């Protein structure tokens, strides 16, 4: 029998997923000799020797039977003259660099480990039990190759039993870098004491206490989700009067409180265990968990610690991030103790260092399609195969819900959720995360740095700093052009297209506030060809927090007198002094930029209807409006679509006046549904008209408003009726969490933006 030698390079997610022991078992099964070893970021190197038919069978096994968590992006095979080996072995890791391997993300505790934690095994009751198929990766790793000395588990030498399993290629824990047990692994402490840490935490939660729980990528604050008074105490302490909290529990427990379709249950069970936004069972369910909303974010336990808690707790728990909104998650024990003093009654902490913060991922079904509200834990740092050219790119995102993105050699890696970068702590977290992810991905130093067009964003200033220090080219990208680039690349579409951007805010080329835009892509040119009719945004950011100010702007744009506007605002509780200042701002255009924002329009309707007149968290007025519209029946009120120069305008001020006149005669439900329908129908009509005018066959939708189920469903239905398949996001968020990916695409593809319309009304000047 002639013996051949094949050299195989496998790239993709092949480290930390049991790939080498899988290769070992398959080679032994086929009677082959050779070796397998990790190559750091270059993937896995395999030398395989034997008869040709056995080698071909092995290659088929490699491609078709890989571990569930592995992902093969490429398998390269070459014949070689290597000396014949006597057996198949697993060799020590090498470090050749390159771009063939990717570190896997954190993975929820597998069923086998849960069985050991809750059953009769040496891992019984041990909170940090894991194996090759589960447990933390990204949040504990310092660098590649992914071996224990390069993780925060290096501080915990293995006991004899763990070392034996770790070293056995046929064991489930072979080279599982987080292998540990109660004898040798990280420990839990409750209020600084190890004794009975878990039982004491369970008793505290059952007694209505608020407990901080340190996890794998950050810290949650937990309490009983069925006790409104406890939740109100938590809200008062955190200063979050209305922000929706997520709940956690086993699936059978969650079903008592939320509506779970088969698809939603499948989402909850995915290996990254996301928070899944689902309808409440009824509007009396969990009233203080997500006030004013018809949905709640739910997730299943995803760590051994969670499973142990719910083995003794029979109610769902609130699980909300232990940090101020937009700021980095707390991960260091001393800082947790300091920052949560006066907020949490008790602290359930562990002594394993969190190397990388990583918030929970969030999913929701919109118009029948599952989308990311946040793409973070369980998915980062897995890359996306986007071909954006040969230059290496760092894209820094916008400001809120920020992620950054690294692009190198056809791989785009979008970071974990960073937060709102408007303070020193979050900016420092961003800097550290860029450095760490660059090291893990082995990305080349950027030759292009992309950022938002807004000059005052800290991310824009950081981009200038990085570009100048590294002699890189700086590319400023208009916010909604980023959204369009992201959704097209998310669908692997490179043809000319119409793009609908429905969003809250984006800095326009003339300093105006864009947010309801129609763009087209032709070649490398992005052209603005439609928008909402502009209104003033009195007070700038203040108008977003107090949307009655936008209501006044819509009334003024509809031609109302100051006296009539003042009278209506007084009825809604605004003082005469505040009204006077507001009207002067609108009339003079002082600190009142023009805006075409779809998000601000929905905010204004929410305030007009008395649904939400003051925002306490990002997106609140529009989210409450969507909830208020559930079960409502839209009225046949259609805003006028007009030509303006080379583009189109949707006249919402005139329509807003009609809606105001119906107040008191029509239910809030129906009026809320009417507003959403009008916005969606108006933009669908505009997009279809532009598609016909420019002979384009592709329509895409992105932006924060693209999370509104009714808006997206309506646009989808109208596009389908005219033969168009509406493109929406699949792999990155449609909100600002996807902006960095879009910036990278815009810069890499060499796009340029042209505004064919201007923002100000044609009959007015600044």
Domains and CATH numbers, the chain: 4-102 (3.30.70.100), 188-362 (3.90.870.40), 383-477 (3.30.420.360), 490-755 (3.30.420.40)
List residues bridging with 94 in a β-sheet: none
What is the reported pLDDT for 664?
A: 82
Query: Which of 75, 71, 61, 77 is closest to 6 using CA atoms?
Result: 77
What is the reported pLDDT for 15?
A: 78
Q: Write out the two tokens for 432.
A: 């550290």
Contact (CB, 8 A) for 364 and 370:
yes
- Three-state DSSP class for residue 195: coil
Q: How far apart are CA 622 and CA 619, in angstroms?
A: 6
Q: Please count the CA atoms within 13 angstroms of the CA of 107 that sit on its side-chain side.
A: 25
Q: Write out the two tokens for 675.
A: 């507003």
Q: Write out the two tokens for 224.
A: 């009983």
Beta carbons within 8 Å of 646's beta carbon, 6+ residues apart? 529, 756, 757
What is the reported pLDDT for 386?
A: 95
Whole-model pTM: value is 0.94
Q: Greatest CA span in the chain, whole angstroms? A: 99
What is the reported pLDDT for 96?
A: 56
Burial class from Cβ neighbours inside 10 Å (0-12, 13-18, 19+) for residue 410 reads middle
Q: How far is CA 380 from the centre of its chain?
A: 10
> How are beta strands 88-90 and 33-38 bridged, if at all?
parallel
Q: Which helix (H) or strand (E) holds 373?
A: strand 369-374
Looking at residue 332, the DSSP 8-state letter turns out to be: S
What is the reported pLDDT for 40?
A: 64
| Residue 128 zone, left/alpha/beta (φ > 0; ψ -120 to 50; rest) | alpha
- Three-state DSSP class for residue 383: coil
What is the reported pLDDT for 100?
A: 45
- The CA-atom distances, in angstroms, between 691 and each of 316, 571, 686, 700, 759 are 49, 44, 9, 11, 22
If the chain, 766 residues long, is cut into consecutive pieces of 10 residues, what is the mean pLDDT of each piece? 89 84 91 88 86 94 88 90 91 62 87 98 98 95 87 98 94 93 98 97 98 97 97 96 97 97 98 97 90 97 98 97 84 96 97 97 98 97 94 97 96 96 95 96 96 97 96 97 98 96 95 96 97 96 96 97 96 95 95 96 98 96 98 94 92 95 92 98 97 96 98 98 97 98 98 84 42
CA angle 195, 197, 203 (to 5 degrees): 120
Burial class from Cβ neighbours inside 10 Å (0-12, 13-18, 19+) for residue 234 reads buried
- The CA-atom distances, in angstroms, between 260 and each of 265, 303, 477, 550, 730 are 6, 22, 40, 37, 21
Burial class from Cβ neighbours inside 10 Å (0-12, 13-18, 19+) for residue 576 reads exposed
């Amino acid at each position: 029998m002639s013996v051949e030698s094949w050299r195989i390079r496998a790239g993709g997610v092949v480290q930390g997923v049991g790939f080498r022991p899988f290769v070992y078992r398959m080679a032994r099964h086929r009677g082959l000799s050779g070796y397998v070893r990790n190559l750091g970021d270059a993937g896995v190197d395999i030398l395989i020797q034997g008869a040709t038919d056995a080698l071909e069978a092995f290659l088929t096994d490699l491609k078709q039977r890989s571990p569930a968590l592995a992902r093969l992006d490429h398998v390269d095979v070459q014949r070689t003259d290597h000396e014949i080996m006597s057996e198949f072995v697993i060799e020590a890791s090498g470090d050749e660099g390159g771009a063939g391997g990717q570190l896997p993300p954190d993975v929820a505790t597998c069923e086998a480990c849960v069985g050991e934690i809750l059953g009769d095994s040496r891992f019984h009751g041990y909170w940090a039990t894991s194996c090759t198929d589960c447990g933390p990766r990204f949040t504990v790793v310092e660098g590649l190759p992914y071996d224990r000395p390069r993780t925060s588990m290096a501080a915990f030498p293995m006991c004899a039993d763990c070392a034996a399993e770790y070293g056995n290629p046929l064991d489930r824990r072979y080279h599982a870098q987080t292998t540990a047990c109660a004898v040798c692994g990280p420990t839990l402490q409750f209020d600084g004491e190890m004794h009975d840490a878990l039982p004491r935490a369970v008793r505290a939660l059952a007694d209505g206490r608020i407990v901080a729980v340190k996890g794998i990528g950050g810290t949650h604050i937990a309490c009983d989700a069925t006790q409104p008074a406890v939740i109100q105490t938590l809200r008062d302490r955190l200063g979050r009067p209305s922000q929706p909290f997520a709940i956690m529990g086993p699936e059978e427990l969650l079903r008592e409180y939320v509506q779970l379709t088969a698809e939603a249950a499948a989402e909850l069970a995915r290996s990254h265990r996301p928070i899944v936004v689902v309808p409440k069972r009824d509007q009396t369910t969990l009233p203080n968990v997500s006030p004013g909303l018809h949905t709640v974010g739910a997730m299943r336990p995803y760590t051994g610690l969670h499973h142990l808690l719910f083995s003794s707790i029979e109610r769902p728990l609130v699980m909300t991030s232990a940090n101020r909104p937009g700021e980095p998650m707390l991960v260091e024990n001393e800082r947790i103790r300091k920052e949560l003093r006066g907020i949490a009654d008790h602290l359930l902490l562990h002594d394993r260092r969190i190397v990388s913060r990583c918030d929970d991922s969030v999913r929701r079904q919109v118009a029948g399609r599952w989308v990311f509200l946040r793409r973070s834990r369980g998915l980062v740092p897995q890359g996306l195969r986007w071909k954006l050219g040969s230059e290496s790119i760092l894209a820094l995102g916008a400001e809120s819900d920020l992620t950054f993105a690294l692009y190198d050699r056809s791989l785009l890696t979008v970071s974990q959720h960073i937060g709102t970068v408007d303070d020193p702590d979050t900016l420092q977290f961003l800097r550290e995360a860029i450095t760490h992810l660059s090291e893990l991905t082995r990305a080349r130093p950027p030759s292009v740095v992309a950022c938002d067009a807004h000059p005052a964003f800290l991310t824009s200033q950081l981009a200038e700093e990085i570009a100048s220090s590294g002699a890189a080219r700086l590319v400023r990208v208009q916010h909604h052009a980023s959204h369009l680039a992201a959704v097209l690349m998310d669908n692997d579409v490179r043809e000319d297209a119409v793009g609908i951007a429905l969003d809250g805010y984006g800095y326009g080329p003339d300093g105006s506030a864009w947010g309801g835009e129609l763009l087209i892509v032709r070649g490398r040119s992005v052209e603005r060809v439609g928008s909402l009719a502009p209104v003033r945004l009195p007070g700038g950011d203040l108008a977003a927090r107090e949307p009655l100010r936008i209501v006044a702007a819509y009334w003024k744009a509809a031609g109302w007198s100051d006296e009539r506007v003042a009278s209506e605002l007084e009825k809604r509780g605004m003082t005469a002094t505040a009204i006077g200042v507001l009207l002067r701002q609108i009339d003079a255009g002082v600190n009142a930029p023009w805006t075409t924002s779809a998000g601000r329009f929905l905010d204004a309707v929410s305030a007009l209807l008395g649904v939400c007149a003051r925002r306490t968290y990002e997106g609140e007025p529009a989210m409450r409006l969507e909830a208020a519209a559930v079960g409502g029946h839209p009225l046949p009120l259609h805003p006028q679509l007009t030509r303006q120069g080379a583009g189109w305008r949707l006249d919402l001020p005139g329509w807003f006046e009609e809606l105001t006149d119906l107040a008191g005669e029509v239910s809030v439900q129906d009026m809320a549904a009417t507003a959403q329908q009008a916005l969606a129908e108006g933009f669908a009509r505009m997009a279809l008209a532009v598609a016909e005018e420019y002979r384009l066959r592709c329509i895409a939708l992105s932006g924060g408003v693209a999370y509104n189920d009714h808006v997206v469903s309506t646009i989808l239905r109208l596009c389908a009726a005219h033969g168009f398949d509406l493109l929406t996001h699949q792999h990155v968020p449609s909100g600002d969490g996807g902006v960095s990916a879009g910036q990278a695409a815009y810069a890499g593809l060499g796009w340029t933006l042209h505004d064919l319309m201007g923002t100000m009304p044609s009959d007015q000047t600044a």
